[in-house]
Structure 1
């Protein structure tokens, strides 16, 4: 396994993104010069940035590292000073992180954020606003953000993160006012090295996870550390050769949906209960004695609103998990096309080479391409809020017939 030298400080969190690190670290140095009243290289620093890249490339990690470097007392992102540490851990008073917990970011949420971002920094050098999944902004939220980006406060920086396969989901007027930084898919060797050195994963398991994760660093870590994630992936990759009878369509659909629901429940259950307990405690809902009836009613009403947000978050988690399964399926059919054509290209699923080659002997290139298109159509349908079960059953029917 080839050694990869990681950058120092907060930039060491980014895997295989040397170009992005060069651009963002230069901007952080220029920002420190601006704060000190010194001349900075023209164009090195600007008030709005758009970080794009394929899923798992580290867009939000890059945004957090840049935010930390902007708050760093040295301007380099040393990783040791209070500004770096609090920004990376999400506790810095002047770094606001927006992570959409539902399927979109509302106009009310964005207006409140823009208003808060207009204030001067309190403890840091800059007010930094990080918007993960900025492609989920509603039209109203985009318009609210646009006003702030067009007339930015003097010491405010907006960092927008969006997948590179759907940059058009961010309005062209916002994109035109942002400096673009494009992240790439990290090399498998770099991912494996990070799993070994940062997460303590066995080298052999790390190499396997890096080879099958599709360049998605978070997915690689989960596959390397979660036995259930490995089992779910194996179950998904049994589907293409397991659709021999009509009833298999519904059985496989049940399995896919159940796995996504279980993953969403597993991820959110502990967090949901902690949020409810914290909210009840903050509002006095667990108090006893005279005069607490009103507090209890207010607490229960607030809990109901929280449960609505949690339900929306669970729906999003379920769809994200299902989408990962569909990406794995699409990768399998792509590998079959590689095998059918005899191309000298690396498989997405090298550990399933035997199944891929068996499928290549049974299917034509045309029928394989139809199957791949069915998977992509299912992803698109779910994106447009078609009920997941209906979309999945239609896809599996198409996969069976080819």
Structure 2
């Protein structure tokens, strides 16, 4: 067993990070891990932190490894962004933390899972800490690509790039680690386009699989303006339902925990001002988190929809490639037959534009309506 077991299909990355753990001449104070969503950036970052703290360089079994991997180690700080951005206040707290020597381990490791979400002022605060490295403190920064990180931070970090793992590697991980049926694991890995977290959710949750199938039914099934408006509203509703399901219990638990910490009576009709202010701050943070999660859910639905048009284009062109939606072969062939290659490419462009608009804070429903209008089937071309 090793901390690197879950860093799948990344032999070069594992070799680079493992060498740094074992050879101080290969070590540096700042690391930047990039890779597409689902490539395992956060998993690799946590494994690296665990290996640095482990007396045996990442055995995966000792107390240091287990606590570092789950984020409870005293000298490992994991920053997983819940909101739309990382504020300057949090960046300053991290910079201050970086000045402290490790308390129980060999290193103080600060993992920032979404360094691309730093605000401009937060990036400046973090940059100062990287410019003045402290002995025994290691920064492990994660982002989708180099272009998502400001150049001054990039220049002060060693870059390690992860690739998208194969669907087969993801399926093997789900079977080995989570006991998922091999065929279901492979179908889920392909549907998730090798995103480990999404593949696991699809494999475990029939509701998630059904929501995905409902989204894909719109491919090739929009024939007029009314159907386009209905499709956009349905897509927005699916995303809203998933957001509510994901955040409802967590929000309530956070509120209960806050009330307990403040010694407040949750059944009281009114609360003192200092309690009301802290509850209001929590609710604001939860709303921001839900906004980000909702955008991510919509974007994921659009990626799923894009995958079906891509599959249809591959079938129409006769390209010898594996289909993302191999389990929906009949639907893929129907879309391929009812669209010309040009229409399929235009549909893919329309989905891409919608994703860009939502990322730019356009209200999702407006972006979806514009997209579904463009997805109307103009006529059958075979």
Question: What is the CA distance between 1:68 and its match in structure 2?
Answer: 0.6
Summarize deviations over 1:144-194 as a string: whole Å, max 9, x none.
111111111111111111113xx3121011111111111111122211111
CA distance in 1, matches of 2:292, 2:371: 20
Given the alignment of the two structures, is residue 216 of structure 1 paired with residue 198 of structure 2, yes or no? no
**Greater mean alpha carbon deviation, residues 93-102 or residues 278-287:** 278-287
The aligned residue for residue 2 of structure 2 is 9
Question: What is the CA distance between 1:401 and its match in structure 2?
Answer: 5.5
The aligned residue for residue 368 of structure 1 is 344
Given the alignment of the two structures, is residue 199 of structure 1 paired with residue 192 of structure 2, yes or no? no
SS in 2 for 1:253: helix
The aligned residue for residue 105 of structure 2 is 124
Given the alignment of the two structures, is residue 394 of structure 1 paired with residue 374 of structure 2, yes or no? no
CA distance in 2, matches of 1:87, 1:395: 44
Gaps of at least 5 residues in structure 2 are none
CA distance in 1, matches of 2:99, 2:306: 44
Pick aligned residue for 1:82 from 63, 80, 103? 63
Question: What is the CA distance between 1:91 and its match in structure 2?
Answer: 0.7
Question: What is the CA distance between 1:114 and its match in structure 2?
Answer: 0.9
The aligned residue for residue 22 of structure 2 is 29
CA distance in 1, matches of 2:205, 2:267: 43
CA distance in 1, matches of 2:214, 2:194: 21
Q: Give the 4+ runs in structure 1 shifted more than 6 A.
A: none
Summarize deviations over 1:228-264 as a string: whole Å, max 9, x none.
1100110111111220232111211121111111111
Given the alignment of the two structures, is residue 342 of structure 1 paired with residue 305 of structure 2, yes or no? no
CA distance in 1, matches of 2:328, 2:125: 48
SS in 2 for 1:275: helix
Residues paired across the two proteins, number:
377
Task: State whether residues 259 and 266 of structure 2, in contact with CA within 8 Å, keep that contact through their aligned partners in structure 1.
Answer: no
SS in 1 for 2:5: helix
The aligned residue for residue 234 of structure 2 is 255
CA distance in 2, matches of 1:200, 1:348: 22
Which residues in structure 2 correspond to 1:322-341 (within 5 Å)?
322-341=298-317
The aligned residue for residue 61 of structure 1 is 43
Task: State whether residues 279 and 299 of structure 1, in contact with CA within 8 Å, keep that contact through their aligned partners in structure 2.
Answer: no
**CA RMSD for the aligned pairs?**
1.7
Summarize deviations over 1:100-150 as a string: whole Å, max 9, x none.
111111111111111112111111111111111211111111111111111
Given the alignment of the two structures, is residue 384 of structure 1 paired with residue 371 of structure 2, yes or no? no
Gaps of at least 5 residues in structure 1 are 1-7, 31-39
The aligned residue for residue 359 of structure 1 is 335
